[in-house]
Chain A
Amino acid sequence: MSTKERNWWIVAGVLIIVYALFPIAWIVSLSFKAPADIANGQFLPTVFTWQNYSQILTGDAASLFLPALRNSFGICLIATFLACILAMFAAYAIARLNFRGKKLILSTALAVAIFPVISIVTPLFNLWRLIGLYDTWLGLIIPYLSLTLPLSIWTMSAFFREIPWEMEQAAQVDGATSWQAFRKVIVPLAAPGVFTTAILAFFLAWNDFVYGISLTSTNAARPVPAALGLFSGASQFEDPTGATAGAAVVVTIPVIILVLIFQRRIVSGLTNGAVKG
Chain B
Amino acid sequence: MRRPWRSRLAAAAAAVVAVGGLAACGSAESGPPTLTWYINPDDGGQAKIAASCTAASGGKYTIATSTLPREASEQRQQLVRRLAANDSSIDIMSLDPPYIPEYAQAGFLAPVPPDVASRVTQGTVQSAIDGATWNGKLVTVPFWANTQLLWYKKSAAAAAGLDMTKPVTWEQLIQAAGKANTNIAAQGRRAESLTVWFNALLASAGGAVIAKNSTDPTQIQLGLQTPAGDRAAQVMSEFANSGREGPAFSTAGEDESVAAFQAGTAGWMVNWPFVWSKAKSGVKGGTLSQSVVDDYGWAIYPRVDADKDAAPPYGGINLGVGAFSKHPDLAYAATECITSTANQKDYFLTNGNPASRASVFSDPEVLKDFPMAPTIEQSLQLAAPRPQTPYYSEVSGSIQREYHPPANVSPATGASTTELIQAVLSGRQLL
Direct contact of A and B (CB under 8 A): yes
Q: Is the interface of B mostly helix, strand, loop or mixed?
A: helix
- Min distance, Cβ B241 to any Cβ of chain A, angstroms: 26
A129 close to B (CB within 8 Å): yes
Q: Let me know if B274 and A237 touch, CB within 8 A.
A: yes
Q: Let me know if A74 and B16 touch, CB within 8 A.
A: yes
CA gap between A229 and B41 in the complex, in Å:
12
Q: Let me know if B70 and A232 touch, CB within 8 A.
A: yes
Per-residue contact bits, chain B 22-46, to A (CB 8 Å; 1 contact, 0 not): 0110000000000000001111100
Q: Let me know if B277 and A74 touch, CB within 8 A.
A: no
- Min distance, Cβ B82 to any Cβ of chain A, angstroms: 6
B253 close to A (CB within 8 Å): yes
B167 close to A (CB within 8 Å): no
Residues of B within 8 A of A220 (CB): 23-24
- Min distance, Cβ B314 to any Cβ of chain A, angstroms: 15
- Min distance, Cβ B252 to any Cβ of chain A, angstroms: 12
Residues of A within 8 A of B82 (CB): 134, 217
Given A81-B13, A191-B2, A230-B69, A36:B282 Cβ within 8 A: yes
Which of the 9-residue segments B4-12, B370-378, B422-430 touches chain A? B4-12
CA gap between A187 and B6 in the complex, in Å:
11
Residue from A74, A81, A239 in contact with B20 in the complex, judged by beta carbons closer than 8 Å:
A74
Residue from A229, A233, A235 in contact with B352 in the complex, judged by beta carbons closer than 8 Å:
A235
Which A residues between 50 and 83 are near B, CB-CB below 8 angstroms?
Answer: 60, 63-64, 73-75, 77-78, 81
Q: Which residue of A lies closest to B25 (CB)?
A: A136
Chain B interface category by residue count? 35 or more
Given A39-B259, A60-B44, A238:B85 Cβ within 8 A: no
Per-residue contact bits, chain B 61-87, to A (CB 8 Å; 1 contact, 0 not): 000001111100000001001100100
B255 close to A (CB within 8 Å): yes
Q: Let me know if B78 and A217 touch, CB within 8 A.
A: yes
Query: How many residues from A make CB contacts under 8 Å with B?
Result: 39
Given A77-B12, A81-B10, A137-B20, A235:B277 Cβ within 8 A: yes
Residues of B within 8 A of A63 (CB): 67
Q: Let me know if A238 and B20 touch, CB within 8 A.
A: no
Q: Let me know if B16 and A219 touch, CB within 8 A.
A: no
* A residues in contact (CB < 8 Å) with B: 34, 36-37, 39, 60, 63-64, 73-75, 77-78, 81, 125, 129, 134, 136-137, 183, 187-188, 191, 194, 217-220, 229-240
Interface contacts beyond A217-B82, A230-B67, A236-B42: sample of 15 additional A-B pairs, CB < 8 Å, sorted by A:
A36-B285, A64-B67, A73-B16, A74-B20, A134-B82, A137-B24, A188-B2, A191-B3, A217-B78, A230-B68, A234-B278, A235-B42, A235-B351, A237-B258, A238-B274
* B residues in contact (CB < 8 Å) with A: 2-3, 6, 9-10, 12-13, 16-17, 19-20, 23-24, 40-44, 66-70, 78, 81-82, 85, 253-255, 258-259, 272, 274, 277-278, 281-282, 285, 287-288, 351-353
Give 14 A-B contacts (CB < 8 Å), ordered by A residue.
Answer: A64-B67, A73-B16, A78-B17, A81-B13, A134-B85, A136-B24, A191-B6, A230-B41, A232-B41, A235-B43, A235-B352, A237-B254, A237-B274, A240-B70
